[in-house]
Structure formats: C-alpha cells, structure tokens
Amino acid sequence: MLIKEIMKTPFVVDKDISLKEAAKIMKNKKIGSLIFASGSKINGIVTESDLTRDFGKQEKISQVMNPKVITIEAEENVDRAVEVMKENKIKRLPVLDHGKLVGIITATEIIANFEDIEEEFIFE
C-alpha cells in the first residue's frame, strides 16, 4: 500500500503562533501535530508532546518545534514509512510529492489500515 493512499491532510501554520494557540488548534481539529511552514519550506513540526513538555516555559512554537523534519515521498510504500518512524523514533512523517508538502502519515493511520496493509504483504 502506498503512503498517498492513507495519508491525511496536514494542518499547516505559516506564522510563529503561541503554544496556547497551537494547543487550541490541535484540540479543535483533533490532531496531534502542526507543521510550521513558510511557502513551500517546512520550518518545523510541533507535536502534542512538544507542547506539554514546554507549556509555561516557552511562548512560541518556534521555541519548541523540531526544526529537523524527516519527510517521506507520497509514492513510497507504507512499510518504508514504518521503517523510517522506527529508525528515528517518531510517530509522524510529513509527506512530500516532488518536494511539495501534500500530507502527513502517522502511526495511527498505519494501525487503522493494518488489515489492508497485512493483506497486501500476504498476497504479494
């Protein structure tokens, strides 16, 4: 199964918002991360754990985000995404198509689609 088949639309912010604003967006959208980008350049990713770890200590997402964002191409197989997540001890991967952000794949999507992925491995 290809990543593009199960990826979700990422929520992108284009300005350095407060941790409180970020938490409110995540709560309202029921998402676990925000991607901070300027144009087509990804500046960083902010996760729930980043917020909870530094809430009250920092003010802006740029102060808590991970600026070294690991990405994956939309045409890759889901098993490759699992490998990348395991190697880097992360749960989310922004998805690119020819360098452009098009989605995000998370451990949650992979688990939710496990039966379809497992069938693909069995019948290949």
Query: Average model confidence (pLDDT) for the chain?
Result: 90
pLDDT score of 81 more than 80 = yes
3-123 placed in CATH 3.10.580.10? yes
User: pLDDT by residue (tens digit) across 7-60?
Assistant: 999 999 999 999 999 999 999 999 999 999 988 789 999 999 999 988 888 999
Rounded percentage of the chain residues whose pLDDT exceeds 70: 93
pLDDT (0 to 100) of residue 121: 47
For the entire predicted model, the pTM comes to 0.86
State the pLDDT at residue 122: 39
Residue 81 makes CB contacts below 8 A (sequence gap 6+) with: 3, 72, 93, 105, 110
**Of 10-14, 73-77, 108-112, minimum mean pLDDT range:** 108-112
Strands 92-97 and 100-106: antiparallel
Q: Are 71 and 32 within 8 A, CB to CB?
A: no
* Residue ranges covered by each domain of the chain: 3-123
